[in-house]
A and B are shown apart, each in its own frame.
Chain A
């Protein structure tokens, strides 16, 4: 009678390890762009000032405690701020020109008329709405540049965040 000869154990281990390596490689290519930014997201326990710069243009805004701030680096001209419930995301960047122009130039489907106001500092504040999106901008005092804020949330809930958005916009300072 002839006995069945079992495969060597080292062969099975090799197969499993190879499969794991493939999975890790695929995951790495797919998820690093997602995971790494989150690894650059910070949440502070106190209010903190975030600064942006793009060439000679600068801006700052005060992010409330508990909100998350996501940016590629401290020198990045763009920052994404999220409310603690993560339901509202505001993308802030620096653009040339006055706030009205900045809002008008931002392409958002279904955007309504641009509204003009002033912050409590007296600087120009412009904003317009679209379903689930609010585009706003605060000018520098000379109108040469603006900090643009694009706020996105579930369309059914977006307006409930107006007071929070207003509070954030009122802290924006451009060119300082």
Chain B
């Protein structure tokens, strides 16, 4: 009898529990949106310290007449790369010539100008424009004119990236500010801008990827693919590709400007971007959308491949345009000798060139030194066999002095000198006719053979030089060898680039005559 009510109560309980229970799987998790392929970062990749990039050299041009100061990095042995960088300097000169109605002539300054510090100053392309203009190491004198500054943005494998920025200013106030990044394959000589890192499909593809990320951020629920951009949208987006900067892991960073939008985003009620956004394109996506040079760069960065500069001589010979930069030729007479290597060491340390007018009878005993001089990129000249007073000799004797020295130098080094220096600077028409080579003299005489004090010697060599001067020294005097570093740095601080005699004459010494300078 008691069992019946219990059964009923049990049935009611089951109904109650069934009514409260819901079909559920507490272990089930909702799918999330796929992780976005691209991510945002706070800032683009910073520039590299140029001192950490092997094989670079710096150029620096200051011209107070035009109101110009320009600094770029060049790659000795990589002429197409250097030419592309220097094109921005030339363009700035052209602008200032047009603005001032002055012609351009390379200028030098006193040693305190400190122009020996050349090439890119790290971070100069991202500093405030007014700061750059006001910086005496970067801006035009007085704050009016043009500053050209640079940064190394990447260097991996054979690829170098340099950002070059041109700032125009009047009375310290910037009036124009533009930058471009040059990417160069120093092995092949290919040079391109940031857009050239991408292939033809990249703009449309990246546009869609970016709009997809932005729409999800705005709460989009559509699973439809992002429609392809309209022509105008694509054209505008090409400008975003110009901001491409490689990161150290092989990704590329794009900077999306403020005000970016798309119709799809507007329909979502998503306003145009309110600030610049730096978006990281991962290496896998880069490799699918990059140009061959871009892919090579990304791969090199991913692999951690260090930058490999092209081979070049320590003296950087052959890469200087003396119409663009102020040049001077240091010439060393009477060697080779035991002090010549010291001079060569100093020249190599500051990547500078010189010309050695050698005595024929010294060649055999120091052939190794001469071969090193040639290998370092310096020039050899003919200073006769044993240093006679040539006007006192007959024609045959003059001929032997020159010819025997030519043969000795060629036999030792494979090089045939293209100019001679008459001992004591003495020559006449007969000597010139018999020599068959142009006579290269000098316009700056250091009188080092008189053994002046070191500071006097340096002052003569450095402070008397003018653009296209030829300086006379002798690599057989200890003081001369000793002060070579100071002479080189002093001339560079004045703004000079040290070149060979042939470079001073724009790549070809005159066929005949006597020359005291290249002016």
Residues of A within 8 A of B (CB): 9, 13, 16-17, 20, 23-24, 27, 31, 34-35, 38-39, 41, 43, 66, 68, 82-86, 88, 113, 115-120, 122, 125, 127, 129, 136, 160-167, 169-170
- Which residue on chain A has the smallest CB distance to residue B21? A38
Contact B224 A115 (CB under 8 A): no
* B350-371 at interface with A (beta carbon < 8 Å): none
Type the 1/0 row for B20-49, where 1 means its CB is closer than 8 Å to any CB of A.
111111111111110000000000000000
State A161–B221 Cα separation when bound (angstroms).
11
Q: List the A side residues contacting B28 at CB < 8 Å.
A: 66, 83-85
Contact B268 A66 (CB under 8 A): no
Q: Which 7 A-B pairs have the closest CB atoms?
A: A35-B19, A117-B222, A86-B24, A84-B28, A84-B25, A166-B221, A120-B224
Nearest Cβ distance between residue A43 and chain B, in whole angstroms?
5
- Which residue on chain A has the smallest CB distance to residue B13? A27
Judge if B15 is at the interface, Cβ distance under 8 Å: yes
Q: List the A side residues contacting B33 at CB < 8 Å.
A: 162-163
State A20–B223 Cα separation when bound (angstroms).
56
- With A27-B15, A136-B221 given, can you name 19 additional A-B contacts, CB distance below 8 Å? A27-B12, A27-B16, A31-B19, A35-B15, A38-B21, A66-B28, A82-B23, A83-B28, A83-B30, A85-B28, A85-B29, A86-B24, A113-B269, A118-B222, A119-B223, A160-B32, A163-B30, A164-B31, A170-B223
Contact A17 B5 (CB under 8 A): yes
Contact of A41 with B219 at beta-carbon distance under 8 Å, contacts A23-B12, A27-B16, A164-B30 already known: no
State A142–B9 Cα separation when bound (angstroms).
57
Contact of A35 with B18 at beta-carbon distance under 8 Å, contacts A84-B25, A167-B223, A170-B223 already known: yes
Nearest Cβ distance between residue A98 and chain B, in whole angstroms?
14
Type the 1/0 row for B404-433, where 1 means its CB is closer than 8 Å to any CB of A.
000000000000000000000000000000
Nearest Cβ distance between residue A33 and chain B, in whole angstroms?
10
Instruction: Tell me how many residue pairs across A and B have CB atoms closer than 8 Å.
Output: 109
Nearest Cβ distance between residue A50 and chain B, in whole angstroms?
16
Contact of A20 with B30 at beta-carbon distance under 8 Å, contacts A34-B19, A66-B25, A129-B219 already known: no
Q: Please pick, from B5, B16, B30, the residue contacting A31 in the complex, using a CB distance under 8 A.
A: B16
State A20–B15 Cα separation when bound (angstroms).
14
- Which residue on chain B has the smallest CB distance to residue A157? B30
Q: Interface on chain B toward A: helix, strand, loop, or mixed SS?
A: loop
Contact of A125 with B219 at beta-carbon distance under 8 Å, contacts A38-B19, A38-B22, A115-B268 already known: no
Contact B223 A166 (CB under 8 A): yes
Contact of A118 with B32 at beta-carbon distance under 8 Å, contacts A17-B4, A35-B15, A35-B18 already known: no
Can you list 8 pairs linking A and B with CB atoms under 8 Å apart? A17-B8, A85-B30, A117-B268, A127-B221, A161-B30, A162-B221, A164-B31, A166-B222
Contact A117 B24 (CB under 8 A): no
Q: List the B side residues contacting A169 at CB < 8 Å.
A: 221
Q: Please pick, from A13, A41, A117, the residue contacting B23 in the complex, using a CB distance under 8 A.
A: A41
Q: List the B side residues contacting A23 at CB < 8 Å.
A: 9, 12
Contact A20 B5 (CB under 8 A): yes
State A82–B32 Cα separation when bound (angstroms).
17
Q: List the A side residues contacting B25 at CB < 8 Å.
A: 66, 84-85
State A119–B269 Cα separation when bound (angstroms).
17
Contact A120 B269 (CB under 8 A): no
Q: List the A side residues contacting B23 at CB < 8 Å.
A: 41, 43, 68, 82, 86
State A19–B517 Cα separation when bound (angstroms).
127
Q: List the A side residues contacting B21 at CB < 8 Å.
A: 38
Interface centre among B20, B32, B221, B269 (most CB of A within 10 A): B221
State A72–B401 Cα separation when bound (angstroms).
119
Contact A162 B219 (CB under 8 A): yes
State A41–B21 Cα separation when bound (angstroms).
12
- Which residue on chain B has the smallest CB distance to residue A117? B222
Nearest Cβ distance between residue A29 and chain B, in whole angstroms?
13
- Which residue on chain B has the smallest CB distance to residue A114? B269
Type the 1/0 row for B370-403, where 1 means its CB is closer than 8 Å to any CB of A.
0000000000000000000000000000000000
Contact B222 A119 (CB under 8 A): yes
Q: List the A side residues contacting B22 at CB < 8 Å.
A: 38, 68, 82, 86
- Which residue on chain B has the smallest CB distance to residue A18? B5
Q: Please pick, from B18, B221, B225, the residue contacting A165 in the complex, using a CB distance under 8 A.
A: B221
State A23–B9 Cα separation when bound (angstroms).
9
Contact A120 B223 (CB under 8 A): yes
State A87–B325 Cα separation when bound (angstroms).
75
Nearest Cβ distance between residue A65 and chain B, in whole angstroms?
11
Judge if B267 is at the interface, Cβ distance under 8 Å: yes
State A163–B31 Cα separation when bound (angstroms).
6
Contact A20 B222 (CB under 8 A): no
State A13–B1 Cα separation when bound (angstroms).
7
State A154–B29 Cα separation when bound (angstroms).
15
Q: Please pick, from A38, A66, A164, the residue contacting B18 in the complex, using a CB distance under 8 A.
A: A38
- Which residue on chain A has the smallest CB distance to residue B22? A86
Contact A31 B15 (CB under 8 A): yes
Q: List the B side residues contacting A166 at CB < 8 Å.
A: 221-223
State A37–B19 Cα separation when bound (angstroms).
9
- Which residue on chain B has the smallest CB distance to residue A38? B19
